[in-house]
A = this chain, B = another copy of it.
Amino acid sequence: MSSTPSSLYQKIQQKEADQTPFFSLEFFPPRTKPGAYNLFAKFDKIQQTGEPLFIDITWGAGGGDPSSDEYTSSLSVASIAVDYCGLPTMLHLTCIGSTKQQIREILDKARKEGIRNILALRGDAPPGTTYDPATLELPYATDLVKFIREEYGDYFGICVAGYPNQHPNSPSAQQDLFYLKQKVDAGADFIITQLFFESSTFIEYVNQCREIGITCPILAGILPIQSYASIRHLMKLSQLCPPDEIITELERMKDDDEMIRAYGVQLATKMCQEIIESKVCFGFHFYTLNREVAVREILQNLNMWNPNGTAAKGLPWQTSANERRAKEAIRPIFWSTRPKSYLMRTNHWDEFPNGRWGDSSSPAFGNLSELYLFRSAGFNKAQKRKIWGETLSSVDDVATVFCNYILGKISRLPWSEDSTVAAETKKIEFQLIDLNRNGIFTTNSQPAVNGLPSTDPVHGWGEAGGYVYQKAYLEFFISPTAFSQLVEVLAEFPFISYHALNRAGESRTNEKEKSVNAVTWGVYPGKEIIQPTVVDPESFPIWKDEAFELWRTEWRDLYEAESMSYNIIENIYQNYYLVNMVDNDYVRGNIFAPFDKLGITNPTQGLVPNN
């Protein structure tokens, strides 16, 4: 486990020093599993478009134990955001009513999950109960901050809450500031404020903080008013009241939620602009209430929403925010449509020597488990049958499903976690349709790329000024008969290497030795060559097991046992080969040429844009 200090604080300091506005997004844990899927899908979207400095998960609002292993717990949501959605994440933690040992157990677990940032809060006693501070091990947030620093040193970044309108329990604004100073002195790195309704409230508050010697960054907590009902609820909860003119406006529009939302966006935008102009702070923490549309509008108004998200990243696949994986630089191509499954199955790897699995001759993957299968689609059986067929009358119906996925008519296949087909797949769409129509079911592919600029909108990745390359790749299921024909033709294409395995593990390949084949690489100024995606013969059998299992658990089991639909899928599962195929000549090759020869693809439309 790394013991370098959490880097979030440094990033915030840098942004403040550069006077570059930045933002973070707060979410609460969902109440249900489907709610959890939706939230994770939101995280994915935020990772792809947005670019928050971090996200923040509240403690236990969804009900249930916030530190449990359920997907709906605060800790799980934060951990999944870090591990699988690639988002730097802060986790709230309240101490009131908890023993040191209980808090220690939660923090140990958070550390184990790669969470590096904690928002330390006192929390409230459950409604109808009170605590006597004298009887508590950790009665105040200050005590929690101290405890974290004592027990975990610099491992966690610590944030504390500031109250521009004074905490409802504080005897005075002065006393409230004093408590805040205490929390900072105890070891907090930065402050996020409670919501407020006028920028002047916040600006004044920051000035007061500076006056009493609080020097750390202070992020403005922004709540966009989203509906009349929600603002009434919040006023009650926070015991805060907007100024009269806002109340008047809201009352005027109270029957028009859309108008209120627009007003809320306008109000928040104005506050943020005024704060940026004041230069007291450049960080904005948005209370999203799990609805990020209004927040996105505000950020777009402020020119702070990056449509490329953190996707303007160093590698072509989505990196994890877990620091344990910081050195990860190479992945097998097989899981490229199932990155979360890959992350899950390699979650126990503590080190990534050479940027990859430790011993490539025996990469240890986690077992196929309900866990990853369960997460693979996020659709229930009825939804799956709707898109993959209520009944199947022949293997042609299966072909239609694959074609529909490539054409964007359906949003999911068992082998894809993402609901969108990769942009580069569009470039070889016709050929893929031809293959699938002919019973060659493609699960993964990439066209050849011969030195496009690293800023290319479709194929580019990594920093500007570089050149990116790809070897054409195809992965598909194919019947034994069709495969035999293909193998015969492939003898004429020495630059195309292939490896096929059926469910039982029978292997056919034209590769003379087992070696790792780089299929995506990039050349950058002043850098070593980066080769983030490889075809790795040692992990192919592991992917093969997963890929076949998905036929069975995701598709076959939608139908009654021994029904025709069931048997069609079962037959594929039992008999087909899974083939990976690389055209090693990324300059002059054409991976579809063998299929042209077989009359499956059409050479006149099949010119691959090799650039």
Q: Which residues of A contact B (CB under 8 A)?
A: 354, 450-451, 465, 467, 469, 494-495, 497, 511, 513, 515-518, 521, 523-529, 531, 534, 582, 584-587
Q: How far in angstroms is the closest Cβ of chain B from A92?
A: 36
Whether A587 touches B495, Cβ cut-off 8 Å, given contacts A354-B354, A523-B518, A529-B518, is no
A465 to B512, CA, bound (A): 15
Which 5 pairs across A and B sit closest by C-beta, in order of nearness?
A525-B584, A518-B528, A517-B526, A529-B529, A529-B531
In the bound complex, do residue A531 and residue B534 qualify as a contact, i.e. CB atoms below 8 Å apart?
no
List 17 additional contacts besides A451-B587, A513-B526; criterion CB under 8 Å: A354-B354, A450-B451, A465-B494, A465-B495, A467-B587, A495-B525, A497-B525, A497-B526, A511-B526, A515-B527, A517-B526, A517-B528, A521-B523, A521-B529, A523-B586, A524-B584, A529-B529
A134 to B465, CA, bound (A): 78
Residues of B within 8 A of A524 (CB): 584
A517 to B524, CA, bound (A): 8
A561 to B494, CA, bound (A): 65
Q: How far in angstroms is the closest Cβ of chain B from A157?
A: 24
In the bound complex, do residue B517 and residue A527 qualify as a contact, i.e. CB atoms below 8 Å apart?
yes
Residues of B within 8 A of A516 (CB): 527-528
In the bound complex, do residue B526 and residue A582 qualify as a contact, i.e. CB atoms below 8 Å apart?
yes
A529 to B523, CA, bound (A): 11
In the bound complex, do residue B584 and residue A465 qualify as a contact, i.e. CB atoms below 8 Å apart?
yes
Q: How far in angstroms is the closest Cβ of chain B from A515?
A: 6
Residues of B within 8 A of A451 (CB): 450-451, 587
Closest to A471 in B: B523
A500 to B582, CA, bound (A): 43
Q: How far in angstroms is the closest Cβ of chain B from A459?
A: 15
Q: How far in angstroms is the closest Cβ of chain B from A490?
A: 14
Q: How far in angstroms is the closest Cβ of chain B from A353?
A: 9
Residues of B within 8 A of A469 (CB): 523
In the complex, 21 of the A-B residue pairs with CB atoms within 8 angstroms, ordered by the A residue number, are A354-B354, A451-B451, A465-B495, A465-B585, A469-B523, A497-B526, A515-B527, A515-B528, A516-B527, A516-B528, A517-B525, A517-B526, A517-B527, A517-B528, A518-B523, A518-B528, A525-B584, A525-B585, A526-B584, A528-B531, A529-B529
